[in-house]
Amino acid sequence: MSRERLYLFDTTLRDGAQTNGVDFTLADKLTIARLLDELGIDYVEAGYPGANPIDTSFFAERRPMRARLTAFGMTRRPGRSASNDPGLVGLLDAQADAICFVAKSWDYHVRVALETTEEENIASIRDSVRVAKAKGREVLLDCEHFFDGYKAKPGFALACAMAAYEEGARWVVLCDTNGGTLPHEVERIVGEVCALIPGDHVGIHAHNDTEQAVANSFAAVRAGARQIQGTLNGLGERCGNANLVSIIPTLKLKPDYAKKFEIGVTDEALGRLARVSHALDELLNRAADRHAPYVGESAFATKAGIHASAIVKEPATYEHVEPERVGNKRKLLVSDQAGRSNVLAELDRIGLAIDKNDPRVMRLLDEVKEREAIGYAYEAADASFELLARRMLGQLPHYFDVEKFDVNVEQRISGKGEALTVSQAVVKLKVGDEELISVAEGIGPVNALDVALRKDLGKYQRFITGLELTDYRVRILNGGTQAVTRVLIESADENGDRWTTIGVSANIIDASFQALMDSIVYKLVKSGAPA
Ligand SMILES: [Zn+2]
């Protein structure tokens, strides 16, 4: 049976850019557009030329890509001709393959927000689609507030959609702009639209205000829509847009969809999905959502002992899809609840094969339990666990010694009379016979220590150049200033690999230092640095 083509439209760079705290530079936009293109997205909506200088310069030149590069903008303003509307003229000049217009389709908005008539709103849709077609662009129309509009006055909402379709718009996109529509309503309304406009010209644009943007997208597809609009990691205003990172694997891996539909994302590209998702977080300088479906660090993590022994024998017992298909990995959490099977499976994954009756397995498990009793949490720190295991099995090269370190924090009054806090760290290392002393200043004591520690590792320096700290988390266990501090550090390297290390101490600097050291040593092991 031949499969039907379903199209993916990404608006991370336009709707996603509306997210609180997100500010893409031109370079960010170009990087993300390339990621989306390599992933196999059909349409990349890169912005709103004319609305801000970055979007205007994005579309000022041709950006060759396989995906159809789409510019977003408004239909002609009411009461003006298309050629007399500077916004529309600018949009038509944008170097884009497609233009996605947004227009009102709710009579209430036409009256209150646009202060015009329903007839003029429809005429504006017709004129705009026509001029963009004449300019050789593929045209899409986002029908804003379509579902609310349809509930209020179905005839008008449909007339807006029909006007675009009749003028030759390739896609009429039904938007749940407020994000409050429920899946069964989406399915019914999209079904009614598809009775008039062929589904392979109908798209869905869902927002996540009831946490059902993904479900609403699938409801629309079931009712006939053949284009899904969404963003990477569900980025978007308020609660976000439909998350393409969840939608794509469902389309590819769930037989109900996979047998029926074909999308532009290959199996090979699907295998890079987790990396694409993390790349966006990194660019936004955010910690990745550990619990994100398919791509989160915990998406395929199992903790309890009995589940773990079953999962080792037969992964399908506790996994709905194979983690490798989306570029993720199975993780058996090693913790004080863990049994031997977790430890064995984890050693196997790391590549430290060991006989299951080797007494060192129990010794390692005891060590983990002892350390967890004083505050370590190895289930959250895969790299520190690996180092612990390697040390116990005699498989950890000895790279260097820290002879001493010294960190100070000093507050002084600047020339302008402002209080200024500066930190300085000195680290004394011994690498082989070489003694190295590094001094660095930092924003805070941990930053200063990190910079000093990584400044000069002598012959090992070249192995850690791509190392980067991506997240730093501190937790005070059992309260008060006498309490124990747990530090978790997430690191990444030039290959896009990520790992987490841990440190525990009554002293926050000491705990941070342990976690920083583990991260560096792990990177050296990973890079195959010689002892
Ligand atoms: Zn939107």
Q: If you measure from the C-alpha of residue 15 to the centroid of ligand 1, how many angstroms do you get, rounded to a whole number?
A: 5
Residue 528 has a pLDDT of 92
**Encoded amino acid at 284, one letter:** L
Specify the higher pLDDT residue, 312 or 389: 389
25-33 contacts, C-beta under 8 A, 24 or more apart = 25/54, 26/54, 26/57, 26/58, 28/283, 29/54, 29/58, 30/58, 30/63, 31/279, 31/283, 32/232, 32/280, 32/283, 33/63, 33/65, 33/67, 33/69
For ligand 1, the distance from its centroid to the CA atom of residue 13, given in whole angstroms, is: 12
Mean pLDDT of 83-97: 95
Average pLDDT, stretch 101-109? 95
Residue 175 CA to ligand 1 center (angstroms) comes to 7
* Confidence label for 61 from pLDDT (cuts 50, 70 and 90): very high
Q: How far apart are CA 332 and CA 11, in angstroms?
A: 35
Whether 191 shows a pLDDT value over 60: the answer reads yes
Q: Long-range contacts for 258-261 (Cβ within 8 Å, ≥24 apart)?
A: 259/1, 259/3, 260/3, 260/4, 261/3, 261/4, 261/5, 261/6, 261/221
Q: d(Cα 231, Cα 166) in Å, to the nearest integer? A: 28
The per-residue pLDDT for 171 is 98
Distance 205 CA to ligand 1 centre (A): 7
Task: State both tokens at 230.
Answer: 């969404």
pLDDT digits (tens, 9 = 90+) for 424-482: 999 999 998 999 999 999 989 999 999 999 999 999 999 999 999 988 988 888 756 56
Q: How far apart are CA 143 and CA 497, in angstroms?
A: 41
What does the pLDDT read at residue 337?
Answer: 56
Strands 261-262 and 4-5: parallel
By the 8 A CB rule, do 14 and 234 touch?
A: no
Pairwise CA distance, residues 156 & 116, whole Å: 14
78 pLDDT higher than 70: yes
Cα of 208 to ligand 1 centre, how many Å? Answer: 10
pLDDT for position 369? 84
Gap from CA of 189 to ligand 1 centroid (Å): 18
Percentage of residues in the chain having pLDDT higher than 70: 96
Question: For residue 141, which amino acid is it?
Answer: L
Average confidence (pLDDT) over 136-155: 97
| Ligand 1 center from residue 140 Cα (angstroms) | 14
pLDDT band at 365 (very low <50, low <70, confident <90, very high): confident
CA of 213 to the centre of ligand 1 (A): 11
- 3-state secondary structure (DSSP) of residue 15: coil
Give the residue-averaged pLDDT of 59-74.
97
Let me know: does 273 contact 53? Beta carbons within 8 Å: no
Mean pLDDT of the chain: 92
Measure 181 CA to ligand 1 centroid, in angstroms: 13
- pLDDT band (50, 70, 90) for residue 308: low
- Strands 484-492 vs 468-477: parallel, antiparallel or unpaired: antiparallel
C-alpha 489/C-alpha 474 separation (Å) is: 9
State residue 377's pLDDT score: 84
Supply the pLDDT for residue 344.
85
Distance 245 CA to ligand 1 centre (A): 17
Q: Which two tokens stand for residue 429?
A: 């290392």
The residue written with tokens 């196997």 in the block is 348
Determine the average pLDDT of the residues in 58-69.
96
Query: Measured in angstroms, how far is the CA atom of residue 323 from the centroid of ligand 1?
Result: 30
Q: What angle do CA 185, 191, 193 make, to 5 degrees?
A: 105
Report pLDDT for 12.
98
Q: How far apart are CA 299 and CA 294, in angstroms?
A: 6
What separation in Å is there between the alpha carbon of 344 and the centre of ligand 1?
47
Q: Is residue 50's pLDDT more than 60? A: yes
Q: What angle do CA 52, 54, 56 make, to 5 degrees?
A: 70
Question: What's the CA-to-centroid distance between 47 and ligand 1, angstroms?
Answer: 12
Alpha carbon 324 to chain centroid, angstroms: 17
Ligand 1 centre from 236 Cα, in Å?
A: 8
Question: Is the confidence at residue 130, as pLDDT, over 60?
Answer: yes
Q: What would the two tokens of residue 119 be?
A: 């007839």
Share of the chain above pLDDT 90, in %: 72
Centre of ligand 1 from the C-alpha of residue 234, in Å: 11
pLDDT of residue 340: 78
Instruction: Tell me what pLDDT residue 499 has.
Output: 93
Residue 230 CA, ligand 1 centroid: distance in Å: 9
pLDDT in tens, 474-507: 888 875 656 889 999 999 999 888 899 999 999 9
Q: What is the pTM of this model?
A: 0.77
525 Cα–ligand 1 center, Å: 45
pLDDT at residue 55 above 60?
Answer: yes
In angstroms, the Cα distances linking 114 to 84, 85, 102, 361 are 18, 15, 13, 71
Q: Which residues sit with Cβ closer than 5 angstroms to ligand 1, an ion? A: 15
Q: Are 142 and 99 in contact (CB under 8 A)?
A: no
Q: Would you say residue 524 has pLDDT above 90? A: yes
Q: pLDDT-derived band of residue 1, with 50, 70 and 90 as boundaries?
A: low
CA of 187 to the centre of ligand 1 (A): 19
